[in-house]
Amino acid sequence: MTESKDFKIRASQKAADDSHRLKILKAISTYETKVDEMKSDQFFDWSVARDKATEIKKYLIDNLPGLLREFETKITNTGAKVIWAKDKEEAQQQIYDIIKQHNAKKIVKSKSMTTEEINFNEFCESKGLDVIESDLGELIVQLAGEKPYHIVTPAMHKSKQEISQLFSDKLGSAESDSAAELTMVARKHLRDKYTSADIGVTGANFLIADSGAVVLTENEGNIRLSTSCPPVHIVIAGIEKVLPRLSDLSLFLPLLATSGTGQQITGYNSIFRGPKKENEIDGPEHMYVILLDNGRSNLYSNPELREALQCIRCGACLNICPVYRTIGGHTYNTTYQGPIGSVITPHLQNIKTWNHLSSASSLCGACTQVCPVGIDIHHLLLNNRTKINSSLFWKIFINAWSTIMKRRRLLNFAAKIGSPFQKTLTKFLPRGIKKRIPQMAQKSFSEMWENNE
Amino acid sequence: MNSRSQILGKLSKFEKPGISSIPSEINDKTIFNVFSDPSTFVDKFTKNFQALNGEIYIVKNLEDAGNELVSIISSLDNKKCLSHTTEVINKLFSINHTLSEIFDILNVDFLDSDIFSTYEVGLTTADFLIARTGSIVLNSLTAGGRRLSVLPPIHIVLAETNQIIPSLDEIFKNDFTSIDWSYATIISGPSRTSDIEKQLVLGAHGPKRLIVILIEN
Ligand code: SF4
């Protein structure tokens, strides 16, 4: 069966799953209250912040190759090694070379969407390496043998009871209905993993061109531990992650925290400028930064779509999306779910297989409204859609439609001849549309207006 | 052709350098609710730091700071404490002998993280405290490397009131970025997670307690 048919089956199953919907709505409403509070508490005017961020991101997109070169030069000067990867396979191979070179067996990894993109865990496991997810949410989905449900909150779909059961099965802990106790189980389980790991692997939230820095944001401290104890630090970053200046962080860190989790700023925002210096007591001896393309340059080469690269992966468009809320994160079957995932996945992977996602939207525009970096998400989805429907029939249909819609008289005429058929026509609408469609009015509003009715 | 030149080559075909000039630097005052009156900094920092579940002790001088530290440690079960050396910490230990006995000083013997892991308290200094967000900024030189402020379950920061700055933008405006550190972090409260049903739990992987001893000057 095709991915698109599978998607429909999964979607209709999830949409009818009440317990799923309850869990998701509960999590999202907690999130929404916090975000609204934080937007008004922290910012004079959220839209000013958003415009400024958008301006900086647009500058970045226009100047991407130059800024990447600047980043590369600066971070190379700190002693870190920069490696470029065209795609998933190349990235895997390069990482494997580093692992072999350092004779590493144990890897501790923090939450990163790029590692999901390149199937990092599966790849390492196939090579007999031990990979531990250190983020609590990621650990939960790893133990459950699942993929992340959400780009920010990977285990959003799991209830306390399910997590308790999972921990007791896999880690042998006592069952508990307290989130605090369950967190302590994970803490204990992971503690010595940091200190015994040979390599720490992270993603990157931002790469800073003017100072050659990698910036990572988190709440738990697992990133800090994974980049402090192991002797090697590997960063896997998408090439679009650059910001021009370190000082841009004073806007982007609060912006990301507010949109992502409704926090003023996340617990730890760490800036890395290479491996440990000679006068420093600890830190990794080696730092590698893998710059991953994996389809991003395809997006970049399309003038209408490139603004999708402005995304800071805050997850706000997922949370607001009525489709995401109904069908859930796993239904998409992609690394990036929700509206932005539907925009970029067809271009990062394969347009034929994945473009059905562009139709998984009601085009209500809520995503565009919440996006903190001003991406016109729903128009990009529309743009993707035109790529699927390029058949002759569609072209004739859409041309006729737009001709009629643009001329008042034609529209009136069409409505007139159309209304008697309407009842019959609605019978042929695809099954699943269970709403009754009201009768069309005899006269249009403009006719009534003209006749002063 | 290697991947680097392939990727950069493809991107370069579509870049538009010079089409827009670089946006002006961020000024937090135009974006956030920033407190600009320095006389309110201590209050604001204290309030915001506590809102993040940080513990704060405001003291008159270094001597009082020492006494406060002794009393914090005396209430702990595990009293193993680790510190690095800075001018102010050295001074503190020279006037408070209880502390100089309690604390071990970080040195190359601690490269083994297993020994490190037995410590309950890590004592560091910091670069800045941020009034607007209640955050602490430190780097791998002011904080004795990377592990001391994150591996022990309790992180204690010795700071002075004149280190408080109004907002984040000031961090990037001065010498801080030109110092040769490999690592810096902005800490906002003890380690936390809301990954289970969005409920806030403190002490996920990093420090469970974050304590600031703030010396007035
Ligand atoms: S598209 Fe916008 S709202 Fe969606 S994740 Fe990216 S930055 Fe956030």
Query: pLDDT tens-digit profile of B123-170?
Result: 999 999 999 999 999 999 989 999 999 999 999 999 999 999 999 999
pLDDT at residue number A42: 93
Mean pLDDT of A299-326: 95
Neighbours of A404 (CB within 10 A): 16
Mean pLDDT of A168-190: 93
Ligand 1 centroid distance, CA of A257 (Å): 12
pLDDT at residue number A389: 63
pTM for the predicted model, two decimal places: 0.91
pLDDT at A434 over 60: no
Give residue-wise pLDDT tens across range B177-207. 888 999 999 999 999 999 999 899 999 999 9
Ligand 1 centroid distance, CA of A300 (Å): 17
pLDDT at residue number A435: 57
Chain A residues with CB under 8 Å of B10 CB are: 297, 300-301
Give residue-wise pLDDT tens across range B24-72. 999 999 999 888 889 999 999 999 999 999 999 999 999 999 999 999 9
Query: DSSP states of B166-181 as a string?
Result: SSGGGGGGSGGGGS--
Give residue-wise pLDDT tens across range A91-132. 999 999 999 999 999 999 999 999 999 999 999 999 999 999
> Which of B13, B22, B31 is best to mutate for the A interface (most A CBs within 10 A)?
B31
In a domain, B176, yes or no: yes
pLDDT band at B121 (very low <50, low <70, confident <90, very high): very high
In a domain, B9, yes or no: no
- Whether residues B140 and A86 touch (CB distance < 8 A) is answered with no
Query: ipTM of this predicted complex?
Result: 0.96
Please tell me whether residue B204 adopts helix, strand or coil conformation: coil
User: What average pLDDT does chain B have?
Assistant: 93
- Which residue range forms the structural domain that includes residue B59? 37-191+198-215
- The domain tally of chain B equals 1
In a domain, B65, yes or no: yes
Q: How far apart are CA A217 and CA A253, in angstroms?
A: 8
Domain ranges of chain A: 50-294, 392-450
Residue B184 pairs in a beta bridge with: A271, B139
Mean pLDDT of A439-447: 73
In a domain, B5, yes or no: no
pLDDT at A36 over 90: yes
* Higher-scoring residue by pLDDT: B101, A395: B101
Q: Nearest CA to B209 among B171, B160, B152, B167?
A: B152
SS (H, E, C) chain A: CCHHHHHHHHHHHHHCCHHHHHHHHHHHHHHHHHHHHHHHHHECCHHHHHHHHHHHHHHHHHCHHHHHHHHHHHHHHCCCEEEEECCHHHHHHHHHHHHHHCCCCEEEECCCHHHHHCCHHHHHHHCCCEEEECCHHHHHHHHCCCCCCCCCCCCCCCCHHHHHHHHHHHHCCCCCCCHHHHHHHHHHHHHHHHHHCCEEEECCCEEECCCCEEEEEECCCHHHHHCCCCCEEEEEEEHHHEECCHHHHHHHHHHHHHHHHCCCCCCEEEEECCCCCCCCCCCCCEEEEEEECCCHHHHHCCCCCHHHHHCCCCCHHHHHCHHHHHHCHHHHCCCCCHHHHHHHHHHHCCHHHHHHHHHCCCCCCHHHHHCCCCCCHHHHHHHHHHHHCCCHHHHHHHHHHHHHHHCHHHHHHHHHHHHHHHHHHHHCCCCCCCCCCCCCCCCCHHHHHHCCC
Q: Which residues line ligand 1 (CB under 6 A)?
A: A 259, 311-317, 340, 370-373, 375, 377
pLDDT at A300 over 80: yes
Q: Nearest CB to B187: which of A195, A228, A268?
A: A268
Q: Nearest CA to B148 among B187, B93, B201, B176?
A: B187
In a domain, B15, yes or no: no
Q: What CATH number is given to the structural domain containing B135?
A: 3.40.50.10420
Give residue-wise pLDDT tens across range A317-356. 999 999 999 999 999 999 999 999 999 999 998 888 998 9
* Higher-scoring residue by pLDDT: A63, A389: A63
pLDDT at A49 over 80: yes
Phi, psi (deg, nearest 5) at residue A81: -110, 130
User: In which element (H, E) is residue B92 found?
Assistant: helix B87-95
Percent of chain B with pLDDT over 90: 82
pLDDT at residue number A390: 65
- Whether residues B182 and A276 touch (CB distance < 8 A) is answered with yes
Neighbours of B58 (CB within 10 A): 16
* Higher-scoring residue by pLDDT: A279, A270: A270
**Residue owning tokens 């019978």:** A427
Give residue-wise pLDDT tens across range B109-118. 777 778 888 9
Chain B residues with CB under 8 Å of A277 CB are: 140, 180-182
pLDDT at residue number A430: 61
CATH 3.30.565.10 fits A50-294, yes or no: no
Ligand 1 centroid distance, CA of A319 (Å): 10
Neighbour order of strands in the sheet with A106-109: A81-85, A286-292, A232-238, A199-202, A106-109, A130-133
Phi, psi (deg, nearest 5) at residue A263: -100, 160
User: What average pLDDT does chain A have?
Assistant: 91
Cα distances (angstroms) measured from residue A83 to each of A350, B5, B216: 25, 11, 48
